[in-house]
Amino acid sequence: MFLLHLQSMDIPRAPTRGISARIPHTTLYIIQLDYDNIKDESLIDRLAYLQEYYKLGDFIVLETNPYARHAYCIDILHLRKALKVIYNSNCDQVFQRGIRINEMRTWILRTHKKGNRPPPKYLYTIESPFNGQRIQSQAHALFLQNYFGAKVRLVNPDGNTKVEMQDYKTSSRTDVKDVEKKETS
């Protein structure tokens, strides 16, 4: 007996740029998460759970549209641990598989405009009592502070000053008007 799983995806057409979760020239990663169709109360609960369960530091949250968020934790983890956190996160399933799809074997979050959508913007930081217990990516912290104006508590820096950026094409499957229609129904 065979089980065949088919999935349809939009054709990527919109050029954009994003930041890699990988620490350059290593097999170490920070945590980057992509959430669609989520309210902040629910997101805060989910990220607080991950902080407590995995003893993670602060999460920096960016808005990509009124119902979509990017979350960054600058703690540095080995790939196996990063995979556990991301698979347990309830973030977008296509994003979870990104490391298998991406030619550079990393997760990428958008940092620039996408078609007619503006670049992400900083919303808030979810502080953690575990912040600084792991080595943190100084380069990612500086990027988030300088590019987005994010509040980042860098306590245990790794000393690295370089991040990997990637140009790519993406598609837009969720229109804000569609989400608003769902909520009023």
Q: Three-state secondary structure along 126-145?
A: ECCCCCCCCCECHHHHHHHH
Three-class DSSP category at 102: coil
Highest mean pLDDT among 19-28, 98-107, 121-130, 158-167: 121-130
C-alpha separations of 78 from 28, 29, 44, 58, 85 in Å: 5, 6, 24, 18, 11
pLDDT at 149 over 70: yes
pLDDT at 116 over 90: no
Q: What is the pLDDT of residue 100?
A: 62
Q: What is the pLDDT of residue 13?
A: 66
d(CA 182, CA 185): 5
Give the domain ranges of the chain. 15-159
d(CA 78, CA 83): 9
pLDDT band, residue 106 (cuts 50/70/90): confident
Pairing mode, if any, of strands 28-36 and 68-78? antiparallel
Strand order in the sheet with 121-126: 28-36, 68-78, 59-65, 121-126
**Tokens 């973030």 belong to residue:** 91
Lookup: tokens for 169: 């094409």
pLDDT tens-digit map of 52-100? 999 999 999 999 999 999 999 999 999 999 999 999 999 888 777 766 6
Q: What is the pLDDT of residue 142?
A: 98
